Copies of this chain bind each other. A is one copy, B any other.
């Protein structure tokens, strides 16, 4: 279980596509008002690991050919993710993210909330123009579920008697459905059949669950030099996570379990560079 970094092997296969995705995001975050440049520049500079974009692009490659729409939707997905991180950091009162001070630390919670809203608005504005109803429905539904997951997490704050099932339900909603939707979107845009898209959705869901459990474990076990963000926050914020409601061994078992479920789905596809990269990503992520 290592923290994935930007030099990961899997990303070599989609290097140029990830670069185009970053360019798309930079364009969408353009703001004509000079007075706001410091805020939008902050976001452009902190584009992070692009994990959801990578899942989308690799699943697109696994099932077809990468198009301009794959790039744009990958960028939109990462913009929505950036917005949720800004709001998460406000909610958790975090001060470090991606090895840099968080927006709430730099400019206060207020500006961080607004900056998140701005990015979310720009992401949806981009989507609204593509006019792909199938793609839009997936993203629209997913955004609503993520918010529900976050609200549920808030509701269970301080409740360390939460069942493993309720914990899994929360992390599926707040984190894993976004990975699931990213994988599905890659396939849908490539024109994959419904069953294939569904299989890749399930791949993303299991990957996302493994990822979040590993993230929760790192919050209690790792330090800031390893994760690049404030650690120990979950306990401080009274958020029940698997390592705190159960124990480290059980938590590690669950990571491997969901990782294996994800790998089993990719194993059903023909061998290809994209399949290999998705397996690597799964192993490195969680």
| A209 contacts chain B at the CB level, 8 A cutoff | no
> Are A125 and B154 also in contact (CB < 8 A) when A87-B113, A113-B87, A113-B91 are?
no
Q: How many angstroms between the C-alpha atoms of A36 and B148 in the bound complex? A: 8
Which of A8-16, A60-68, A130-138 touches B?
A130-138
> Are A33 and B110 also in contact (CB < 8 A) when A129-B136, A140-B125 are?
no
Main secondary structure on A side of the interface with B: helix
| A39 contacts chain B at the CB level, 8 A cutoff | yes
| Interface hits, A33-88 → B, CB 8 Å | 33, 35-36, 39, 84, 87
| A150 contacts chain B at the CB level, 8 A cutoff | yes
Q: How many angstroms between the C-alpha atoms of A31 and B173 in the bound complex? A: 14
Asked whether, in the complex, the Cβ of B152 is within 8 Å of the Cβ of A35, the reply is yes
Chain A 99-122: CB-based contact to B (< 8 A → 1; otherwise 0): 000000001111101111110111
Q: How many angstroms between the C-alpha atoms of A44 and B116 in the bound complex? A: 24
Q: Which residue of B lies closest to A93 (CB)?
A: B110
Asked whether, in the complex, the Cβ of B110 is within 8 Å of the Cβ of A154, the reply is yes
Q: How many angstroms between the C-alpha atoms of A138 and B181 in the bound complex? A: 27
Shortest beta-carbon distance, A113 to chain B, in Å?
6
Shortest beta-carbon distance, A121 to chain B, in Å?
4
Shortest beta-carbon distance, A181 to chain B, in Å?
13
| A144 contacts chain B at the CB level, 8 A cutoff | yes
> Are A148 and B111 also in contact (CB < 8 A) when A121-B140, A125-B140, A128-B133 are?
no
The 8 closest A-B pairs by CB, nearest first: A125-B140, A128-B136, A118-B147, A121-B143, A124-B124, A91-B110, A121-B144, A128-B140
Q: Knowing that A117-B150, A118-B151, A124-B140 are A-B contacts, what are 12 other residue pairs whose CB atoms are under 8 Å apart, sorted by A's residue number?
A: A36-B151, A36-B152, A90-B113, A113-B113, A118-B148, A121-B147, A122-B144, A124-B127, A124-B143, A125-B137, A128-B139, A128-B140
Could you name 10 residue pairs across A and B whose Cβ atoms are closer than 8 Å? A87-B114, A87-B117, A91-B114, A108-B154, A117-B120, A117-B150, A118-B144, A120-B120, A124-B140, A125-B144
